[in-house]
Structure formats: C-alpha cells, structure tokens
Structure 1
Amino acid sequence: MRGDAAKGSDNVRELVLDTETTGLDPEQGHRILEVACVELWNHVATGRAFHRYINPDREVPEEAYKVHGLGWDFLAQYPRFHEVAPELLTFIGGDTLVIHNAEFDMRFLNHELRRARHAALSTENVVDTLALARQRFPGAQVNLDALCKRFAVDNTQRDWHGALLDCQLLAEVYLELRGGRQPGLVLTDTPGGGSDRVEIAQRPRREPRPHAPSEAERAAHAAMCETLKNPLWTQ
C-alpha cells in the first residue's frame, strides 16, 4: 500500500475505489453494502464507472445509517456481494487502486472476496490518498471534505457519504494532489488514443508596451529631485 503518487509510464489506468459498510470491522460481522470504482487514465477520470448497492444480509446499525443513509429496507432488493464480485474484479482488472484511507476499504473488500471464494487483492497495488495528503499537508485536516475545500472541488451534493459520489470527488482531489492540470496543456483521457501527447495553447501576440517616460514625466521627476536634501547620488 503506497502513500506516494503512483509512478509509471504513459497510459496509466487507475481505479478510484470506495465502499460503504454496516460498521467499522469486518471481523465483527460488518459487511459492505455499497461499492464503486471510477476509472482514470493518466490520473484523469474517463467517465467510466462501476457502482453497485449490495444486500449485506444483516440489519444496518443506526450509527452507520446516519453516515450513508442506506437502510435494510432499501438494500434488501439488491444482490449479495458474491453475485457482484466477478463483475467488480473484471472492472478492476489488476490495475492500481486509489483509495482514501485504503486500509479500511481493503480490509472489508478482501474479507468479502475471501467469503465469496475469490483471491484477495494485493495491497501493494494501492495508492492511499490519505497518506499522500498527510505527507503534503502535515498537521492539517485531510478528510475528503477538507481536501475538497482546499482544492475548490465542489462537494455541495455530499449530504450523505455515498461510494460513487465520493469516488468522483476523490478523483478530482487525487488529480490536484498530483499537481493538477497544468495551465496551457490539454490532456486527452482516451485510452490508447495518444494520451501521451500534450498540446501547447497558442496565445495571441501582443505588441510590446512603451516604457520610455514622456516629457511631462521627466519634468515631474526632475522637480521632485530638487526637493530632496543631500540625495545619495550627489555624495
């Protein structure tokens, strides 16, 4: 699990991932009830996403409901994790995961994958944006809302924690943590479509501004100098 920005060659595919759960510890019987991934190419969102609500096979505690607003009455209609796991793994495809507080989500995700008789995902192929933000802004608040505020990312729709929305916000925050879009550069985000090319924006040519003083300005300057007592240039 890495706290640095992902390094690699051009055409890098990453998946921003987030989960919502019934609680804090899968070892105590808590389950994933929502999972989402947003696809990035060269750290920029492409618009492709994976999003599923999941029947957790248990009640949702009140304290968890207050966070994400997802209750049993709503979730009971959706498939269980083992039913969506193959599609999720296909979407991830072995590429790098970008997660805020990666340890939490990876514990739940791998717990669910083992229950569904799938191999656990490697934690080595994960970028933890929480660790990355702590390195960049030591001592500052680095939760998702705080980072959205710092980078002027619009999070006004975030009344509840939601896996898909949080992925979309984190994708923007991650781009800013890596340095953001550079002025004058146009980045293509189409896989294999020349995303390693950059175009320099052409600016209109402007004539140089005149800087020579006018006669009136020269006269005003000379009159001001006459008022000075013992100026340095006479000593």
Structure 2
Amino acid sequence: MDPLSRLANACTLTCIAAPFLSLFPDNAEMALSKNGIQRQSMADRVKQELLSRIMDGRMAPGARIVELQIAEEMQTSQGPVREALRELEAMDLIITEPYKGTRVRELTPKEIEDAYDVRAALEQLAAQLAAPTFKGNVDDLRKAANAVQTAAKRKDQRAYGTHDVKFHRMIVEAANNRALLRAWEALAYEVRIATRLGKTHIDLLAAQEVHWHLIDALEQGNGKAAGRMLAENVVAAFHQHK
C-alpha cells in the first residue's frame, strides 16, 4: 500500500485536530480581560517550556509531571500550569490517569510506525503541491541540503537531524497548505522520539544523497517524482532508526 493510501488508515482524528485545540481558551471572556490575558500569557510560557523539555529529551517518555513542582520552578500559580497541561494533553504529548498523575506519553512501536506512514503520505503530497513553486528556483533548498551534507561529513548526528528537519519543512511549507503543515507538525514528537531512541550508526552521507535527486526533480517541476522520492526517503528513515 503506498503512503497516500496509508494516510486514511494510519492518521487519527487527534493527529489532525490536536494542533487546533490550543487555539481556544476554556473561558473566552476571561481571556479577553486583562487578568485573563496575563494568565493566558503565563500558561503559554509554561506550555512552551514543557514542550521544549519534552522535545529535547529533558522530560523523557514516561516521566512524571508534578503540577506544583512546575509552578514553583516557573514562579507562578498552579492555574496557568493546569491550563498548559490541558493543552499539551490535547496535543497528545502527555496523559493524565486517575491515581497515577500526569506523565509524558510513551510511544509504542506501532504508534511510531503509524506516524512515519502518515508523515510519508503528507510529504508526498507536499512535494506534489510545492513543485510549481520550486521549478527553476531551488537555491534555498540547495543551501539547506548543503547544511545536511556538511553535518553528515562531520558525522554530527544531532546537527544532521536539525538540518534534515529544516530541509523537509521547507518543502512542506512551500506546499502553501496550512492544514497540511499543521498535520505534519503534529507528528514532530513521534519522529523526534524515534530519532533519539533509534540506531546511532547510520550512514549519514548515504542517507542524505536522495536530497539531491529530489531537488533535481523539484527544479524540473516534476512533483510526482519528487513526491515518490520524498515518501520513500521518510519510510527509509523509519527503518534506519528501528
């Protein structure tokens, strides 16, 4: 089954809807008041800090999150922390269970595989939509690919991962489809966890070689070929990290 067909089977409602949930405060009237705005601002700060800790591994999968402790660390009341935790739970990054408290969501191998299947389908579509934008205009994409290649030559896996995500993001953003971008961003946690916990002896130079063939296809406006290569690249990345 090709990645686009798998999208319907693997992508859950949460994957698409979660990024929207944080846009709507529980009490709109309070959010419009002065105190409400301040509270929302603090809740957003807490959310961003916790999100950063989760994504960079300071809060590992399964790690407990204690509301009072976070409030003390960030010198705020428990209200903004509670709001931030609700938003992170809506994004499917944390879970709260009776008598067990709140913790960073742990991923099963199936969840990670599903995330890569969906990401492959999204990026295949993104490349097809972005091809007209890149036709004859791939200078920035080449610069991004050069950064990936430089990191690969240095065997700097962390820098490689950072620049590789930027390269893929450029293509997704060039599709000019906000719904697609939000769905793609919703998979960031699964992809980051798979990368961090996966194999560390990957041949980075070989892995990045496909970028140049992909750029050639986009420069020619061949979205179908570019989409196929990008989807295959994502699937290959999943198997490399297993």
Taking structure 2 as the reference length, what is the TM-score of the superposition? Answer: 0.28
Instruction: Flag the structure with higher strand content.
Output: 1
The structure having more radius of gyration, on CA atoms, is 1
Instruction: Flag the structure with higher helix content.
Output: 2
